[in-house]
Amino acid sequence: MTVAPSPAAAPSFNRAEWASAFQNVERELSQVPLSAARGAIPPELLGTLYRNGPGRLERGGQWLHHPFDGDGLICALRFGAGAASFSNRFVRTEGWLAEEAAGRVLYRGVFGSQKPGGPLANAFDLRLKNVANTQVVQLGDQLLALWEASSPHALDPNSLETRGLSLLDGVLKTGEAFSAHPRFDPGHHGAPRMVNFGVKTGPRSSIRLMEFATVDDPERGIQAGQLLSERRDSFAGFAFLHDFAITPNWAVFLQNAIAFNPLPYLLGQRGAAQCLKSKPDGQAQFWLVPRASGSYAGQEPRLIPAPAGFVFHHLNAYEEGDELVLESIHYADFPSIGPEDDFRAVDFEQLPVGQLKRSRIKLSNTGVQSNNSVQSNNSVQSNNSAQTELLSERCCEFAMVNPAKQGLKARYGWMAVAARPQGNDPLQAIKKLDLQSGEEMIWSAAPHGFVSEPVFVPRPGAAAEDDGWVLCLVWNGSRAASDLVILNGHDLSEQALLELPLAIPHGLHGSWVAGSAQ
Ligand code: CO
C-alpha cells in the first residue's frame, strides 16, 4: 500500500517480531516454484534476483556476537513469463565446511564473535574467517560471493554450487581484499564495466582500483571478466572503506575519521571491527581517484576535507559543471558494537540515524594534490571545497538509482527506510525519493514486515527512469518467514507478493541479472 508520510511519533514495530528473523537456515532448496499470494508477477520481469546475507547465526548452542559474522547464504529468485522459482545455498567456504564438520564455532569473527574459551582461547588467533556474506554479483560466467576483507568465492549461477575461492584469473593474490561493493559502469567509456577496489590498511593505507569488462568484445579480444585497467594509490592514515562511488572520470571514496586500536583484538578481547572508534579531532576526507579512461587518467588523487560523522554506503555520484556530487547515507558517529551487547536486544533509540545527504565538491578548488604531501590529517587544507546538505530526515539505508544512471545525475533513488519520519527504527518501508524536488513516496510493510535492500529492475525497453519494478525481501513477522514483494517503480504500488517457503535472516546486499535462466 502507498501511504502518505505519517507524523505519528510512536515506533510501529514489535521487537520480538523483528528479532525472530535471526535464526539458522536449515534447508537448501532448488528451483522451488513460487506463486503470488497477492497480485500477479509481471510477465515482462525476466531474470534473477541474487541475494546474500548471513544464514547461520548459531552453532553448537553458541550465538554469534553479530549477524555480520554469519556464514553467507545465497538466495536466487528467478522470474520469467509471469512465473518464479526459489533456490538457496550456503557458500562452501573453508570456515563453513570446517564448522559444519565440527558442529561448533572454530573461528573468531571480525564483528566480535569469539571461539569458546574466553580471551585466552582467542588471543593471537588472527585468522580471518572469510564468511562470503555481503554481496553477490555476476562477472563473466560466474557469480561472485563477496566479503570485503578477502578474495571472492566463485559460484555456479544456476546451481549456486561453490566452485571455490577465485583470484579472478590471477588478478588477485591469495587472500587479497576485494570490496563487496563493486559499481557497474553502464557504459561511460563504451562498453559496460565492473569497477571495484581492495584496501590494504595500516598507518598508511593503499587502494587498488580495478576495472573489469562485463561483456565479451571479440573484435578487441576482450572477454567478460577480464581486467581492463588498475591503479594503486596510498594514503596517510587507517582506511575503513566499505563502499565507494563512480562517475565517468572518478572513483570517489569517503575516508571516515576513524582510529583502529588493535590491542583488544590481538589479546582476544574484541573483534577487529570492535576496535574501530571515531576520532573526535580527526578530519574525514573525500579521496578522488582518477579513472583509467577518464579525463584525469594517470593524475594523482585529490584529497578534500569531508564532513564529520560516518558513512558506510553511497547512493550515487555524478559530475555537474566543475562539481563532483556525492550522495551518501551519513551517521553522526560510528555505530559501535560493544562486547557486552546482544544484537537481538539492540535499542534502536540509542543508535545513530542514517540520513541521506548530498555533498558538492568543487573540483576547480581542489587542484592536484600529491598524496605524498599529506603526512597527517592536520596537513589537509580546510577550505570551502565541499558543501554537504541533508536531503531527507527519515532514517534510511540500502539506497540505489536506476542502474543506467550509475555515475550520472539521477532523478530518483529507491531505499529502505523506517516507517516513522523521524527517529531510528528498523527498516520497514521502501521510499522512492525525487532527488530533484525532494518529493517522497512510501510503501510500508509495518507493523509486521521488515524490509531489506530494495533492488530496482528497469522494465525491458523502458524510456522513463522510474519505469520498472522494485524487488525486496521482506521479513514477515506474522508468519515468521520471508516474503518477496514486487512494487511498481513509478508509484510503489504493490504488483505481487510471494510467500517464500523459507525463513531468511535480515540480510545484506543483492543484485539483478537480466535474461533467462539456463
Ligand atoms: Co554494504
Rounded CA separation 376/357 (Å): 27
109, amino acid identity: G
Please answer whether residues 87 and 32 qualify as being in contact, where contact means their C-beta atoms are separated by less than 8 angstroms. yes
pLDDT (average), residues 433-446? 97
Of 66 and 434, which is predicted with more confidence? Answer: 434
Q: How remote is the CA of residue 508 from the centroid of ligand 1, in Å?
A: 7
pLDDT above 50: residue 307: yes
Q: How remote is the CA of residue 326 from the centroid of ligand 1, in Å?
A: 16
pLDDT above 70: residue 337: no
Q: How remote is the CA of residue 147 from the centroid of ligand 1, in Å?
A: 10
**Predicted pLDDT of residue 87:** 98
Domain containing 54: what range? 2-339+348-514
Contacts of 477 (CB under 8 A, 6+ apart): 14, 16, 17, 18, 20, 21, 448, 449, 450
Out of 336-350, 447-461, 477-491, which region has the weakest mean confidence (pLDDT)? Answer: 336-350
pLDDT confidence band for 382 (50 / 70 / 90): very low
Q: How remote is the CA of residue 187 from the centroid of ligand 1, in Å?
A: 23
Q: How remote is the CA of residue 70 from the centroid of ligand 1, in Å?
A: 15
pLDDT (average), residues 7-25? 85
Prior bond of 447 cis (ω within 30°): yes
**Predicted pLDDT of residue 44:** 97
Rounded CA separation 470/228 (Å): 32
Q: How remote is the CA of residue 241 from the centroid of ligand 1, in Å?
A: 10
State what percent of residues in the chain have pLDDT above 90: 76
Q: How remote is the CA of residue 484 from the centroid of ligand 1, in Å?
A: 20
Q: How remote is the CA of residue 40 from the centroid of ligand 1, in Å?
A: 31
Q: How remote is the CA of residue 348 from the centroid of ligand 1, in Å?
A: 19
Q: How remote is the CA of residue 379 from the centroid of ligand 1, in Å?
A: 30
Q: How remote is the CA of residue 509 from the centroid of ligand 1, in Å?
A: 7
Q: How remote is the CA of residue 312 from the centroid of ligand 1, in Å?
A: 7
pLDDT confidence band for 376 (50 / 70 / 90): very low
Domain count within the chain: 1
Q: What is the pLDDT of residues 140-197, one digit of tens each?
A: 999 999 999 999 999 999 999 999 999 999 999 999 999 999 999 999 999 999 999 9
State what percent of residues in the chain have pLDDT above 70: 93
Q: How remote is the CA of residue 153 from the centroid of ligand 1, in Å?
A: 17
Q: How remote is the CA of residue 242 from the centroid of ligand 1, in Å?
A: 6
Q: How remote is the CA of residue 35 from the centroid of ligand 1, in Å?
A: 30
Of 187 and 274, which is predicted with more confidence? Answer: 187
Residue 508, phi then psi, degrees to nearest 5? -115, -110
Helix (H, G, I), strand (E, B) or coil at 200: strand
Q: How remote is the CA of residue 220 from the centroid of ligand 1, in Å?
A: 34
Residue 13, phi then psi, degrees to nearest 5? -140, 160
Q: How remote is the CA of residue 412 from the centroid of ligand 1, in Å?
A: 20
pLDDT confidence band for 368 (50 / 70 / 90): very low
What the block records as the C-alpha cell of 463 is: 524510456
Q: How remote is the CA of residue 383 from the centroid of ligand 1, in Å?
A: 30
Q: How remote is the CA of residue 397 from the centroid of ligand 1, in Å?
A: 9
Q: How remote is the CA of residue 218 from the centroid of ligand 1, in Å?
A: 34
**Predicted pLDDT of residue 479:** 95
Q: How remote is the CA of residue 56 from the centroid of ligand 1, in Å?
A: 19
Out of 202-206, 226-230, 337-341, which region has the weakest mean confidence (pLDDT)? Answer: 337-341
pLDDT above 90: residue 497: yes
pLDDT above 60: residue 371: no
Positive/negative CA dihedral, 135, 484, 344, 333 = positive
**Predicted pLDDT of residue 381:** 37
Q: How remote is the CA of residue 290 from the centroid of ligand 1, in Å?
A: 23
Contacts of 488 (CB under 8 A, 6+ apart): 469, 470, 494, 495
Rounded CA separation 338/43 (Å): 47
Q: How remote is the CA of residue 207 from the centroid of ligand 1, in Å?
A: 17
**Predicted pLDDT of residue 83:** 97
Which residues face 304 on adjacent strands? 286
Q: How remote is the CA of residue 398 from the centroid of ligand 1, in Å?
A: 8
**Predicted pLDDT of residue 294:** 95
Q: How remote is the CA of residue 12 from the centroid of ligand 1, in Å?
A: 26
Q: How remote is the CA of residue 117 from the centroid of ligand 1, in Å?
A: 31
pLDDT (average), residues 501-511? 97
Out of 261-275, 407-421, 422-436, which region has the weakest mean confidence (pLDDT)? Answer: 261-275
Q: How remote is the CA of residue 41 from the centroid of ligand 1, in Å?
A: 28
pLDDT (average), residues 248-275? 85
Q: How remote is the CA of residue 306 from the centroid of ligand 1, in Å?
A: 20
**Predicted pLDDT of residue 10:** 74
Angle at the Cα of 84 (from 81 to 89), degrees rounded to 5?
Answer: 145
pLDDT above 80: residue 518: no
Q: How remote is the CA of residue 427 from the centroid of ligand 1, in Å?
A: 15
pLDDT (average), residues 114-131? 83
Of 354 and 268, which is predicted with more confidence? Answer: 354
**Predicted pLDDT of residue 366:** 59
Contacts of 54 (CB under 8 A, 6+ apart): 64, 67, 68, 69, 70, 71, 72, 73, 131, 133, 505, 507, 508
Q: How remote is the CA of residue 137 from the centroid of ligand 1, in Å?
A: 13
Q: How remote is the CA of residue 399 from the centroid of ligand 1, in Å?
A: 10
Rounded CA separation 92/96 (Å): 6
Q: How remote is the CA of residue 98 from the centroid of ligand 1, in Å?
A: 26
**Predicted pLDDT of residue 219:** 94
Q: How remote is the CA of residue 248 from the centroid of ligand 1, in Å?
A: 22
Report the candidate in 276, 268, 338 with the shortest Cα–Cα distance to residue 127. Answer: 268
Q: How remote is the CA of residue 367 from the centroid of ligand 1, in Å?
A: 31
**Predicted pLDDT of residue 273:** 79
**Predicted pLDDT of residue 259:** 78
pLDDT (average), residues 227-250? 95
Q: How remote is the CA of residue 179 from the centroid of ligand 1, in Å?
A: 9
pLDDT confidence band for 341 (50 / 70 / 90): confident
Out of 9-23, 113-127, 143-157, 194-208, which region has the weakest mean confidence (pLDDT)? Answer: 113-127
